[in-house]
Amino acid sequence: MAVALILLLVAIGSVLFHLYSPWWWTPIATNWAYIDHTINITFWITGFVFVAVIAFMAYCVFRFHHKEGRRADYNPENKRLEWWLSVGTGVGVAAMLAPGLVVWHQFVTVPADATEVEVMGQQWQWSFRLPGKDGQLGTSDVRNIASDNPMGLNPDDAHAQDDVVIESGDLHLQLGKPVKVLLRSVDVLHDFYVPEFRAKMDMVPGMVTYFWITPIRTGTFDVLCAELCGAAHYQMRAKVIVDEEREYHAWLEQQKTFAELSPAKAIVKATYRSGDK
């Protein structure tokens, strides 16, 4: 039966494609391997259901297709079978949902020792900000935005003066240190997306959103915008570089603080010192 065979081949072909296709997720660079595991569990359960349903259907088509003299059974319902199938489905669903919710709990629970870094999106570029030696990011407001204050930091906030501002450069993160990425936008929605990090979150004007990660391998990673943000959405790029501790601090020392970038009122002489313990 050609039709039954083709249906079966669709199922088998899908499984083979899954196993042998060269397109798979990027090697992970953060602690979120849990997410990958949850996806794998989901692949196993759904893959089994997919093959079972299609194979059963193909068998029915093969076995019960019309022939002269065949007559269908009359079989309105079978309560027991329907309940068993419902319960079985419920178990499968729970097996996917439970690990999913556990991992979500980890995802939204930021560890206390996470350091903060801010990413700001605007059409169509990224800016970054790190807390200065006071370890605290200063406040900001879009109304403060000016040519010498592109991130809209509050000039009257002492915490802001020593913040490290990276306007058109790459963001560096330190290997193995949990980091809470604070996300902010000044115009439209954006989404800070690094495929290798697995985590992503929209950036919404008027709000500060976040996710947290712990980088687990060094390297240079592409930053893309994952939320449509207008004409040049596809060109909104940057790089994140995960460094060993020494390289990270070497990089950090070269960065300028907000005070240094404000020529008019360089009152506070605040250079950033690494290893400020």
Partner 1 sequence: MVDIPYEGTRGIPPAEVPDVELYHPRSWWTRYVFSQDAKVIAIQYSLTASAIGLVALVLSWLMRLQLGFPGTFSFIDANQYLQFITMHGMIMVIYLLTALFLGGFGNYLIPLMVGARDMVFPYVNMLSYWVYLLAVLVLASTFFVPGGPTGAGWTLYPPQAILSGTPGQDWGIILMMSSLILFIIGFTMGGLNYVVTVLQARTRGMTLMRLPLTVWGIFTATVMALLAFPALFVASVMLLLDRLLGTSFFMPALVEMGTLSKYGGGSPLLFQHLFWFFGHPEVYIVALPAFGIVSDLISTHARKNIFGYRMMVWAIVAIGALSFIVWAHHMYVSGMFPQFGYFFATTTLIIAIPTAIKVYNWVLTLWRGDIHLRVPMLFALGFIITFVNGGLTGLFLGNVVVDVPLSDTMFVVAHFHMVMGVAPIMVVLGAIYHWYPKVTGRMLNDALGKFHFWVTFLGAYLIFFPMHYLGLLGVPRRYFELGDTTFIPSSAHSLNAFISVVALTVGFSQLVFLFNLAWSLFKGEASGGNPWRATTLEWQTPETPPGHGNWGKELPVVYRWAYDYSVPGAAEDFIPQNQPPRATQHVQGAAS
CB nearer to partner 1: pick between 203 and 259? 203
How many angstroms separate the CA atoms of 180 and 116, rounded? 5
Note whether 204 and 227 are within 8 A (CB).
no
How many angstroms separate the CA atoms of 222 and 193, rounded? 8
Nearest distance, CB of residue 54 and partner 1, angstroms: 6
How many angstroms separate the CA atoms of 132 and 256, rounded? 10
* Spatial CB neighbours of 236, under 8 Å, sequence gap ≥ 6: 121, 123, 124, 125, 126, 190, 224, 225, 229
CB nearer to partner 1: pick between 79 and 277? 79
CB nearer to partner 1: pick between 63 and 277? 63
Nearest distance, CB of residue 269 and partner 1, angstroms: 30
CB nearer to partner 1: pick between 20 and 276? 20
Nearest distance, CB of residue 220 and partner 1, angstroms: 7
| CA distances in angstroms from 83 to 56, 78, 80, 89, 244, listed in the order given | 19, 9, 5, 10, 56
Buried b (16+ CB within 10 A) or exposed e, 220-230: ebebbbbbebe
Nearest distance, CB of residue 252 and partner 1, angstroms: 24
Give the phi and the psi of residue 199 in degrees, each rounded to 5: -75, 145
How many angstroms separate the CA atoms of 8 and 16, rounded? 12
CB nearer to partner 1: pick between 242 and 270? 242
Nearest distance, CB of residue 26 and partner 1, angstroms: 5
Nearest distance, CB of residue 132 and partner 1, angstroms: 24
Q: Which helix (H) or strand (E) holds 5?
A: helix 2-20
Nearest distance, CB of residue 3 and partner 1, angstroms: 6
Q: Which helix (H) or strand (E) holds 158?
A: helix 158-161
The sheet carrying 238-243 orders its strands as 171-174, 238-243, 219-225, 190-193, 200-203
CB nearer to partner 1: pick between 159 and 233? 233
CB nearer to partner 1: pick between 35 and 166? 35
